[in-house]
Structures are given as structure tokens and as C-alpha cells.
Structure 1
Amino acid sequence: MSLPAPVLCRPAISVPEHVITLEQTLDLARRRHAGHPMLDLALRLITNTGVATRHLVQPLEATLHHPGFTERNAVYAREAKALVPQTVRRALAHARLGPEDIDLIVYVSCTGFMMPSLTAWLINTMGFRAQTRQLPIAQLGCAAGGAAVNRAHDFCTAYPGANVLIVACEFCSLSYQPTDLAVGNLLSNGLFGDAVAAAVVRGSGGRGVRLRHNGSHLVAGTEDWISYDVRDTGFHFVLDKRVPGTMARLAPAMVQMAAPYGWDLSNLAFYIVHAGGPRILDDLATHLRVPAAMFRHSRATLTERGNIASAVVFDALDRFFADGGGEQEAAPGLIAGFGPGITAEIALGTWTDGRDGAYGTTTRRPAVAATRAPAS
């Protein structure tokens, strides 16, 4: 008898209290870069993102001030410790599990650096077992949300019945560089926002997306299209103008990944994808031959939060849950994250309402056994 596939439960999302609107963003760009020869282009690009509001981890005045990478990274660590625990607690509550039930924590972030990872601090302060495994992912950028889901799926497949906590912590505003005047950087100043997300993948039971298959695809020759220049002043975001057109190459790869499993990506019940910008969503709808409305949850995230990097897929997934989730049991859907590389991380899953009898009870069980090397 085969075991049920693991279930990605409802995420929890937290955003900082400070908000900047599109109008404020455009006004700032006009005042701070009045003599820029490509200001009109930058303003047009920012307007076309469709981002109406974004949340910032610091007040606007502090965000615009650059005290140096050391102080900014200290802000990252401080604010992560302030926002992540409450988000984790809500995600655990959605999954009806406690910290002691988690076997692996996957922590994804590309906007700050800590060593040891925040996972160590979480284990020490929130009641997770000392045996909880840690998997920090720092260099996949926006694709890391999808990668976290897929690595959680892999772990639960390798260790049936295990539970995985995913945490995405992105404070993109800490990468604001006031002296970097490249058009791609000016665009990023009006596109990216801050957020924290957490979600649990249950090895058994649970209401949400039952993870069936996953895959990854790297578009050759695009390594420098999305990247960081790491300088004394911190992370400088580099964005190539060809990035918005990548769906023409990624969509066919996604179709090919799904084909061996008999999945038709043009006929799914839900689509939870990374909203890097409106053209990404428009082109994906065109190439997959699906109505643009199928990406409404991702588009709402882009409009209300901006591009929140690895947290996008979880924010869009939370909106899907808030909208009632899947309309029927076993309805098929797609989760996909896109980011540097150019990389796509793709998951295929089916909706489950959690009526299999296991959901609603928390089983306290011993930790997943450590892997032993074969006897010589």
C-alpha cells in the first residue's frame, strides 16, 4: 500500500507596517534623479509594473539613507527575529502541528546574511527539537520559494511521514542603492517589497496542495540576466532588459516537465506562480494557453505587495486559500518560482480538503532517524 503524498498547507504571511505607494515612488524618482537622461523610461517602467503599494521594513526616511552594509545587515537580523516567529506560529497552526513535530526547516532569503542561519536561532528559541535538520537556501533569489517547496517534497518522499517547515524572509528594501543609477536598478526601486512567509509541508494529513511531482529547469546562457554585484555597500541588483521575455523559453520547458506524468498545463484548476512583473504573467498565460484570470492571485500579490522575491509564491498561495482553495478534491494545479540562473522551480499538485481522517490530530513522534552509512 503506497503512502499518501505530502501536503503543502496554508501559508502565513507577515508584512512590515511601513507602506510606500506608486505615487510616492514616482515622486521620489523625479526628485532624486531629476537630471537622469533615462528618467522618463524609468518612470514608465515603474508605472507599468502595476505595483500600487509595497511594504518596507523601515520608515521611508531610513530606507533612503544608506548607513553601510554592516548596519543594514544588522537591521536584517533584528527584523527577521521580530517578524519570523509570529509568522511561523501561524503557519504551524494552519497545519495543526507544533514545533516538536517538525523534522526539517528550510529557510530561504537573498536579502541579508546570517551564519549560523536563522534556523539555528529558531530551533533554540521556539521549541523545535535539537535534532531538527536545517537547510538554508541563499542564492536562488525569487526562485527559492519554489525550490523550498520542492526540497520539502523531496525530504518527505525520502522520509515518509516527516514534516517540513518553510520560511521565506525577504527585506528587499535593504538593497536600495541611492548611488546606483542604472535603469534596471531604478526599476527595482519601484518593484520590490518586503515580506515574511512560512508554510508547512505535512508528510501525512493536511488540507492544501498534495505535492505529486517536481522539477527544475535552467535556461542556458542567462546567468548574468538576474544577479547581484556584491560591493562594499552591499547587494546591487542587476536586471537585464531581456528578463521579461524568458517565458518564451521557460513555458515550453514547464510543459515538457509535466508531459511524462500526463499533465496538460493548459488545463489545470489553479496556477500559483512567481509574479516578477506583469509581462511574466501575461506571457505565461499566452504560452500555456490559459486565461489571464488564472493568475489573479499572483497578480494581486504583485499589485499589493510588489515583487517580494521568494515569498511571492506563498503570498499568492495564501490568497488561493482565502478564495476557497480548490473547488473539488484532486483538482490539479501548478506552483512555480522563477529567478536567477535563469531558473524555474516547478511543482505539480492536487487539491485536498483534508478529509482523509489524519488532519486535525497532531501525532508526537520521534525524530526522523539519522541516515547511517552502509556497513563496510
Structure 2
Amino acid sequence: MSVKITSVAKALPSNWRDTSDILPFLDQWLAGQDSRFQRKVKKIFENAAVDRRYSIMGPTEVFSKTSFEEKNALYARESIKLAETALTNALAKTDWVITDIDFLITVSCTGIMIPSLDAYLINSMQMRQDIVRLPVTEMGCVAGISGIIYAKNFLKANPGKRAALLAVESPTATFQLDDYSMANIVSAAIFGDGAACVLLSSHDNDPGPEILAEEMYHFYDATHLMGFDLTNTGLQMVLDKSVTETIAAHFSDIIFPFLEKNKLAIEQISHLIFHPGGRKIVEVVQELFGKLDKNIDDTKEVLRLYGNMSSATVLYVLERFMERQPEKDSYGLMLSFGPGFSAQRVLLRW
């Protein structure tokens, strides 16, 4: 019995801006700051390798003083809409109906909802009343792959079942208007909002690449590298400048033992499905994979078109490969990094 990824689909908010359109709003936000600092901030936005990003808010609202309560209410309302659209789009790529789904996983880290997002979807989309649900929070950018891992293990234990994974994120709702730290500025420059849905199956007749293996890798003494601080004004970004060098130092331990356990070499991996965390992380990983004669062009393109949407972003990269319909018996490696600090991997075979 195998577990397969049957379809992947995305959903985007209606608000969007090119990076060039955001620069005038920076002038307003940075008014009163040192001129050299203002130029530095603009350079960060211009050099972020993000041409466009989507948002649940327009830029005027992003750069206005709003309370944590107001931003979180917007996050909750828009998350339900985005999740419904992503799930509908994913189902449209299959012959499934909504009641075919046995297991529902929702992942998000950019707001707080109780009841969780999955409860709203069960009601609004009339999913089965006996569906098994799992909301996953506080895992950040790795949660898209985490959700695939959890779904795979559920389906492996339950042959003939189907699962839906929803990743919904609104990082713009975490922007801190009175915070001029590099962490807040860099996150504003690289992040965007979006959602994605992955449908997985342990039905023999459902198509899609098979999940051959999955594994998590946890870094010691690295909880300070990435995450959020919960403050009176909302979720405040934590982003340590040593993230990229930490990834580079652990790269070999993350990649090669995992492949060796599955009797594969990096040369046999045709499709690298890497989460675009930001320009610097992408450049470091591109250099490391480049030495192995591999590229992460799709990762760079997703970053350019949408920015980093936290947990959903790697699923946008996966969708590009799914639509391309890779050759039979080719292998793909999914990889993402996130708070903890951790790396998570999934091995696919088409």
C-alpha cells in the first residue's frame, strides 16, 4: 500500500502589489528616521528577490495602526475564505467530492483561531461529521511539509483513505508598525499571504507521486533563530541573522544520510522542491545544490512571484512540479526549514 499526493492547488488574496508600488508607503512609514537608515530599508525591499506579493490587507491598511484584535479578526475571516478556495481548487483537479475526505489537517502560524480553521471548514463545506481533524500551529515555514508527514502516517495506517492538508498564512497581519528592527523589516520585505491545499490518498486507484519516505531533523540550541514573540501589538517576528550559516553548516547531515537510508544518491534526485525562505537562504541553498549540479529555479520563481508565505510556500513549488507531470520513476526531494530550529524532508517518486 502506497500513499500518494493526488493534487495540489493554491489560493491568493485579492489584494496585491508589486514591490515598486510599496516603496512610496515606506517613505511615509520611515518619516522621521535617519536618511541613511531609510535608504537601507528601501534597498532591503528592492533586493529581496520578491517582485510581487499578495495580502489580506491593502498597503494603506498594512501601514496603519491597528490593534492585535483587529488584525487577528481579519486573519480569521480571510483564512476561512482562502482555505475554502484552495480546497475547492484542489478537488477540481480530481474526481473526488468533499465527503471523500477522511482526514483534515490545517496548518498556520500567523494568527490565532479557537475553534481552529478546520472546524469552520467542516461547517461551511459540509464535510463528513466523522472526519478526523488535526490543527497544527506554531511550526512556521516547515508546517507545509509537517502536514504532509502527518497525513502520510495517518494514511499508511489506514489503507483506502483520503486526506486534505490546508496551509493558510497571512504574514502581513503580523507587521509591527512601531518596530524598526531588522527582523521586522526583513520579514516585511520577503513575506506575502497565501494558501494551498494538498490532497493525499492511500486508495490504490488514485494517481500522483508516491511518498517514499519522510523525516524531521532538529537542530540543538537553535530555538532563538526564528519564530514569533507574542506581544500586546501582535506576533512580533524573531529572525536571527545566523540562520543561513546554520543551515549551511548542517546541510550535509540533512541531505545525504536521508537519501542513503533510502538507497539513493543526490544524482538520482531530479526535482528539488525547496521552500523559498528568503533571498539569502535561497542563495545559500542554491550554492550548495549547485555544487552538486542541481538547481532550485522553481523555488526562486515562487519567491519572485509571491514572496515567502510561510508554510504554504513549499506547496506552491510542489504545484509547479505536479503540473509539469514529471517522467515516470523520477525522484523528488521536498525540503523546508523553520522554527525549532528544524529541517523537514519528504522523498517522492513519480
Q: Does the pair score TM above 0.5?
A: yes
Match of 1:358 in 2: none
Shift of 1:266: 4.2
What residue number does 1:177 align with? 176
Between the aligned partners of 2:198 and 2:261, the Cα distance in structure 1 is 28
Task: Provide TM-score, normalisation by structure 1.
Answer: 0.87
| Residue from 12, 19, 29 that aligns with 1:15 | 12
Deviations 1:172-227 (A, max 9, x none): 11011110110121111111000011110111233332100000011222111112
Equivalent position of 1:59 in the other structure: 58
Q: Please report how far the alpha carbon of residue 249 of structure 1 lies from its aligned counterpart in structure 2 after TM superposition.
A: 3.0
Worse-matched range after superposition: 107-116 or 75-84: 75-84
Q: What is the match of residue 112 of structure 1?
A: 111
State the distance in 1 between where 2:37 and 2:257 align.
40
Distance 1:219 1:249, change over 3 A: farther
Report the secondary structure of 2:268's partner residue: coil
**Structure 1 unaligned residues grouped into runs of 5+:** 352-376
RMSD, aligned CA: 1.7
Paired residue for 2:22?
A: 25
- Residue 92 (structure 1) aligns with: 91
Which residue does the alignment assign to 1:241?
Answer: 241
TM-score, normalised via structure 2 length: 0.93
2:261 corresponds to: 260
Which residue of structure 1 lines up, in the alignment, with residue 321 of structure 2?
Answer: 320
Cα distance in 1 between the residues matched to 2:113 and 2:199: 23
Q: CA deviation at 1:90?
A: 1.6
Q: Are the counterparts in 1 of residues 103 and 132 from structure 2 also a CA contact under 8 Å?
A: yes
Q: What is the aligned partner in structure 1 of residue 221 from structure 2?
A: 221
CA-CA distance at 1:43 after TM superposition: 3.0
In structure 2, the CA distance between the partners of 1:56 and 1:282, relative to structure 1 (3 Å rule), is same
Task: Show CA shifts across 1:292-346 (max 9, x none).
Answer: 6x31211111001000110111111112233x221x2121111122111121110
Say whether the 8 Å CA contact 2:29–2:63 is kept in structure 1.
Answer: no
Deviates more, 1:35-44 or 1:247-256: 35-44
Give the equivalent residue in structure 1 for 2:278. Answer: 277
Distance in 2 between residues matched to 1:274 and 1:83, nearest whole Å: 20
Unpaired runs of at least 5, structure 2: none
Kept in 1, the 8 Å contact 2:86–2:197? The answer is: yes
Note the C-alpha offset of 1:286.
Answer: 3.0
The alignment of Structure 1 onto Structure 2 pairs a total of residues equal to: 345
Distance change >3 Å, CA 225–CA 40, structure 1 → 2:
farther
Is the 2:116–2:135 contact (alpha carbons within 8 Å) kept by the matching residues of 1? yes
| Runs of 4+ with deviation above 4 angstroms | none
Q: How far apart, in 1, do the equivalents of 2:256 and 2:42 lie?
A: 35
Cross-structure match for 1:305: 306
Moved more, 103-112 or 205-214: 205-214
Distance 1:182 1:40, change over 3 A: same
Q: Which amino acid in structure 1 is aligned with residue 349 of structure 2? A: T
SS in 2 for 1:9: strand
Q: 2:284 is aligned with what amino acid?
A: D
Give the stretch that moved more between structures: 303-312 or 124-133.
Answer: 124-133
Q: Secondary structure at the match of 1:349?
A: strand
Residues 259-307 of structure 1: CA deviation (Å, up to 9, x unaligned): 1111223431101111001332332233343446x31211111001000
Q: Which range is displaced more, 164-173 or 15-24?
A: 15-24
Q: How far does the alpha carbon of each residue in 1:138-171 deviate from its partner, in whole angstroms, 9 at most, with x for none?
A: 1110110010111111111111222110001101
Kindly tell me: are residues 46 and 60 of structure 1, through their superposed partners in 2, closer, same or farther at Cα, counting changes over 3 Å?
Answer: closer
Q: CA deviation at 1:347?
A: 0.2
Distance in 2 between the 1:45 and 1:11 partners? 32
Contact 2:22 2:59 in 1 (8 A): no
Matched, 1:333 2:328: no
